[in-house]
Amino acid sequence: MWPRTRLGQPTGYIMSITNDQRVATAAPQKPAFHPSMLLYDQRYRSITIQIFALFLLMLGAAWLIDNVVNNLRLLGRTFSFNFLWQSAGYDINQRPIEYDSTMTHGRAALVGFLNTIILAILGCALATVIGVIAGVLRLSKNWLVSRLVTFYVEIFRNIPTLIWILIFGAVMAESMPAPSAFRGDNASSSMIFDAIAVTNRGIYIPSIQFQTELGVLPIGPFAPSLNWILILAVIIAGIFANKQLIAHANRLQSETGIRPKTWWKSILLLLLPVGVILVALGAYLDYPELRGFNFTGGLHLRNSFLAMWLGLSLYTGAFIAEIVRGGILAVSKGQTEAAFALGLQPGKTMRLVILPQAMRVIVPPLISQYLNLTKNTSLGLAVGYMDLRSTLGGITINQTGRELEGMLLLMAVYLVISLTISGLMNVYNSRVKLKER
């Protein structure tokens, strides 16, 4: 036997490689490029197919545009957006900015666009609140509560949106009292808290007015009030300061294990600055009053707006409820058991443990529901709500005969709105999704 060393190798066996014995391995050289490699080489084939598909798409688009231009020429028409600067000649019943019938079609389209944005934002907000509450309650152990929520979800999900909008519009117009019912000592109806009037023409609520006006800030076609700009800036600053306060409390809790009380500080940061600004500007409530045959003053929420808001929110909220329920069920039951073991109450367990984890599952399909609600605002034409579809895509096209230009603008605006919503929600989704280490 060969004697062995500590490394276990025979002492008589010597492993050595000299320079002459080394085999020099040269890197393989790439073959020269041949045009046939565009089809048979995997490195180039996918790029070739994509370029070819893009070329066909551009060729089809060029043919379509040329066909449209030739047909317009045969009809003696041109492709132009000059109609946007012509006088509109029609009124809009709900105007978030100044508008009258002597203004341009572009201004009318802007009013419709703002009506669409307002309805989409308020609808998404209310649908989210309804959906989260219904999704949580559907998992309730109370049999009656869970069945009632299930009834709501199944009823609203399986009936088209337009029917619900028409139902709410009919209820508001037919079952509510007329303004004349509020007149005199023998009035059959009365205002709620002497401030809110619910009529068949809509709901009248108090509005905020100011004794001191700071003026307006002209920004292109907009002229927002400096009072509201100041209030909005103070609110945003308060939210940012409150966020920093909560982050500081979280750091102290992680370092010391004791969380300082922040609720009263948050209230001061969020409400006190706004209250000071309102007092300084002399803010007061302008209550609606019955004068003649209708109410004046305050803020008028028309039946068309209310029907759209309630119909879209309740319909979309039913789908969001199912999304929330699925997200909650996707969280492991061990998370709930661990939270209970730490002494957390069921409400805090759902709010602090379950829902934050379920958001990773909820947000992606939630984006689709927001997009659907925003696009469904175009149904406002059925109840007389003057949104973008009713103004630019309706009356303006009928008056000017520019259906191609109007529809292209309409498609472009809805595309931009949808991409904006999708982008913002994707940013939020990237913040709540699970981070891999």
Q: Which of 116, 117, 124, 120 is nearest to 320 (CA)?
A: 124
Q: What is the pLDDT of residues 341-390, one digit of tens each?
A: 888 888 788 888 888 888 888 888 999 999 999 999 999 988 989 999 99
Question: Is 345 contained in some domain?
Answer: yes
* Amino acid at the residue 319: F
Is 228 within 8 Å of 208 (Cβ atoms)? no
Question: Is 430 contained in some domain?
Answer: yes
Is 108 within 8 Å of 99 (Cβ atoms)? yes
Q: Which helix (H) or strand (E) holds 401?
A: none
As a whole number of angstroms, the distance between CA 171 and CA 304 comes to 11
8-12, 161-165, 294-298: lowest mean pLDDT where?
Answer: 8-12
**pLDDT at residue 30, as a whole number:** 64
pLDDT at residue 15 tops 50: no
Question: Is 217 contained in some domain?
Answer: no
Question: Is 36 contained in some domain?
Answer: no
* Amino acid at the residue 378: S
Question: Is 375 contained in some domain?
Answer: yes
Tell me the average pLDDT across 62-74.
84
Q: Which domain holds residue 379?
A: 83-158+305-437
Question: Is 70 contained in some domain?
Answer: no
pLDDT at residue 58 tops 90: yes
Question: Is 334 contained in some domain?
Answer: yes
Residue of 421 and 223 predicted with greater confidence: 421
SS3 4: strand
**pLDDT at residue 160, as a whole number:** 93
Taking the mean position of all CA atoms in its chain, how far away is CA 360? 17
Statement: the pTM of the whole predicted model exceeds 0.75:
yes
Residues 6 or more apart whose CB falls under 8 angstroms from that of 324 comprise 131, 132, 134, 135, 136, 358, 362
**Mean per-residue pLDDT of the chain:** 85
pLDDT at residue 314 tops 80: yes
What six digits make up the tokens of 309?
Answer: 């808001």
Question: Is 254 contained in some domain?
Answer: no
**pLDDT at residue 425, as a whole number:** 87
Number of domains in the chain: 1
Taking the mean position of all CA atoms in its chain, how far away is CA 127? 10
Q: What is the dihedral of CA 229, 230, 232, 235, to 10 degrees?
A: 170
As a whole number of angstroms, the distance between CA 285 and CA 111 comes to 26
Tell me the average pLDDT across 72-82.
81
As a whole number of angstroms, the distance between CA 240 and CA 262 comes to 15
CATH number for the domain that contains residue 121: 1.10.3720.10
As a whole number of angstroms, the distance between CA 384 and CA 304 comes to 6
